[in-house]
Every structure is written in C-alpha cells, then in structure tokens.
Chains A and B, each alone.
Chain A
Amino acid sequence: MTTSSHSRVLLFGKLKQYAIGDELRVVTHPEMTPKEFRAAVAEELHRRCPEFPGVAELMSSAVATDRVLSEREQLGSSPEYSLLPPVCGG
C-alpha cells in the first residue's frame, strides 16, 4: 500500500520568487520519481503564482534529500526534500 504524505519542499535561487517564500508543501509518496515530484511542485507553484511558466522551468533542478537523487531513483521517505536549480558558486 502506498502511503502519501504532505512533505516539506525547500526551494532555492530563482524558484523562491515563484513560491513567494523559501518552502512549500506537496503530497508525496515513497515510490514517486523525481519527475513526478517536479510535476507536483510545479502544480503548487502555479497555484501560488499564475505567472509560473510550468514544469519545464523545473527540469534542470535536481531533487535532493540528504543527497542528490538520480532520476532513476524513487523519493523514499524523507521529512523534507530540496529542489536545487543549476548551481553557480564561487
């Protein structure tokens, strides 16, 4: 049986401007893929910000727990997830 839960999602960089904040909550389940996770986040971002351009805006962002998940992995169970846009430190 799949157990769904409302998970905390931390946002960074440009993505925060769409959320009007640092985080949001979406419904996730452990078998969810990063692609499905992005779709859920995109839906919530669009609800908060009608100008949000859509899930394509998130395709270059990695999904992370305490590490970056590969695209083949499932989310598993984590108290929170992060969506990491392309990085540019230094």
Chain B
Amino acid sequence: MTETPFTKIDIVAGGVRPGLVSEALNNPSHGGIAFFFGAVRNLNHGRIVTAVSYECHKALAEKELTTIIGEARSKWGDAIDAVVLHGTGRLRVGEISVAIGVSSPHRSEAFEGCRYIIEELKTRVPIWKQEHYVDGDSEWLKGHELCQHGGTSEHHSGDTSRRA
C-alpha cells in the first residue's frame, strides 16, 4: 500500500515558530530531514534594517506552494513529506519569516527538495516585503515578475546579498 505523503502549508500572522516544522515531520520511515529557516536580517545593501513587513495573497500563495511541493515530489520521489510555514506582518530582526522542512527515507532527497522549495518560493509565491530602516525610511523590495510579457523590473531576489 502506498502511503499518502504529508503536506502542511500555513501562512501565519507574525513570525514563524521553527519548532512547529520539526514537530510536524515524524514519519518513522524517513531517515533524512532537512530544514531551512529564513530570518529577518539587520543589513541590506548597506542600510541598517530594523524590521521587515511581509504581505501575502494567502489563497494564491497556498495554491502555488502546493504546486511547488508537487513538483518536488515529481523530482525527488512521492515519499517526501513537506512543511512550509511563512510569516506575515511586521517582523523584527532575528525573527523567522519562513520555515521549511522536508523529510524523506534518505538525506539526499530531503536536502534537494528543501532547497527546491525555498528557491521556487522566492520567485513564484505572491509574498511581498517592505524593509524598515533605522532612519525611519521604508522600501518595498523589488522582486520577480509573475506576468509573462517580459517587463522591466529588476530581479533583485536573484541577488545573493538579498537572500535570507
């Protein structure tokens, strides 16, 4: 009998509690569990960041994350279990904005699946962030376009200095 893989996706108010991810992944046939935690950083492009506000289109975000996890399973096996939690609202430096956990019978699939989900999340899931700076200024960060006509937006999310 094929076991149905476990999926948990949650867009939460405030920061994410990392322990929820490990608590949700408890498949006794899985020997590899990989985690990614993204935290609010205190510096970006030379500006001192005090907080980041996250905004989300919840329904579309959950739908796209479901698709991404499905893609991960098609690449690394139907057996992988996956948990994705993303915070919204104003988060202070050090708070966890995103937590991803992937478990699999073996470590390689868990690592690969976890990496795939965070990279795809950053370019496909409708979530936006506004940085707040120590001087009182704030700025919505540029990101990846979802429309397909090839506009002119800069793709700053591909810049490693902006990665969580």
| Contact in complex: A87, B140 (CB < 8 Å) | no
B27-35, B53-61, B104-112: which lies at the A interface? B53-61
B145 close to A (CB within 8 Å): yes
CB-contact partner of A12 in B128, B141, B164, under 8 A: B128
* Chain A residues in 8 Å Cβ range of B146: 62, 64, 68, 84, 86-87
Q: How large is the interface on B (under 10, 10 to 19, 20 to 34, 35 or more residues)?
A: 35 or more
B127 at the interface (CB under 8 A from A): yes
Q: Does B17 contact A (CB under 8 A)?
A: no
Is A74 part of the contact surface with B, judged by Cβ < 8 Å? Answer: no
Task: Given A13-B128, A59-B151, verify A86-B144 contact (CB < 8 Å).
Answer: yes
* Bound CA span A60–B149, Å: 8
Docked complex: A70-90 residues within 8 A CB-CB of B: 70-71, 82, 84-90
**Roughly how many angstroms separate A86 CA and B60 CA in the complex, as a whole number?**
14
Q: Nearest 3 pairs between A and B by C-beta? A: A89-B127, A88-B143, A62-B146
